[in-house]
Amino acid sequence: MLPLRVKNLVGLATRPRPAVGSTPHTVVWAENKWRLLRYDARPEGLAHRTPVLLLPSLINRHYVLDLLPDKSLAGYLVAQGFDVFCVDWGTPGPEDRFLGLADIDRYLGRAARVTARLGGRPPHALGYCMGGTLAIVHAALHPQRFASLAVMAAPVRFDGEGVLGAWTRARRFDVDALVDAMGNVPWQILQASFHMLRPTLNLAKAVNLVDRAWNDRYLDGFLALETWANDNVSLPGEFYRSWLKDFYQADLLDKGELLVDGHLADLGAITIPTLAISFEHDSIAPAETCELLVERVASADKDAKRLPGSHIGGTTSSAAAKSLWPLLASWWAARDGAPTKSERLRAPQERPQ
């Protein structure tokens, strides 16, 4: 009889792929390619008044925040009694090549307003990676749209340390030529860029896979994460142009000079509670570039947390389930806010004794 490790490795190609993004949900809004999902509340109802809006990156699929039942931030928050919404950015078509930063910001605003309408009050925003930076920009333009702002691995400064910054500022890198020629920027180019950040990552994953192939739970998690990592999305050309030129090359957000549809995205206008989470071994968004957020916002209630882990593992690992997820839940629970007037009127009145 073959050892379990060998047996699992031999059968890896035909092993059933785990179902990703399986937390029950309903699509409550759809527009162009993007959708707003609302996860089904726990049977006993909500424990918190303020909804949570998850804002993932445009480059990757939203279900990184709902990977597997035991690796799902969305599922965890539902179990804690939150009303959880999530943006699924979808897949842009050739007709979307002219969507720019202002268009994406309008979509984000629509998601926030629909969440507020269905959830009863402005949501706590949680942005991840590029979605976090976009949430920061939106909060700077429309601070009243969110009850609080929490971001994970979301840079504010783009000209600091980091390989991506060095590449995008190279004189040989012609963003305009790429966008003009390709329209939407193909996901293959984006994925290759991230692979080059850590050239030995695939080899390290292979070694780890062989070492832990006896563990069925590990294999399911590995296959789920690989499914997500290879389910990439192309970016609208004009958005990519702005992202590279305005953020990475000119660093306009940190300088306080970023204009979105003619309006200044001033980080000093953010006065809502703000939490910046970074990860020690993040090669995509170095911790120092993310922690600057708390220096730039005007909120009196602000904090930065640097946690162990990498850009992806920091949010999806078993360690994240024990540290990051409870941190977020407790931070929001402490800022749930007093009942609004309409909520007080709807509440059942106690009978006098």
| Residue reference for tokens 């950040």 | 197
Among 136, 153, 152, 36, residue whose Cα is nearest residue 89: 36
> CA-CA distance, 266 to 256, in Å (whole number)?
6
In sequence order, which residues have a C-beta less than 8 Å from that of residue 9 and are 6 or more positions away? 209, 210, 213
Is 282 a catalytic site residue? yes
Helix (H, G, I), strand (E, B) or coil at 16: coil
60: exposed, middle or buried (Cβ count in 10 Å: 0-12, 13-18, 19+): buried
Q: Which residues pair with 276 in a beta bridge?
A: 151, 304
From 25, 96, 129, 290, the catalytic residue: 129
Q: 3-state secondary structure string, 28-59?
A: EEEECCEEEEEECCCCCCCCCCCCEEEECCCC
Is 311 a catalytic site residue? yes
> CA-CA distance, 282 to 60, in Å (whole number)?
17
From 48, 124, 138, 311, the catalytic residue: 311
Is 86 a catalytic site residue? no
Give the catalytic positions in this structure. Answer: 129, 282, 311
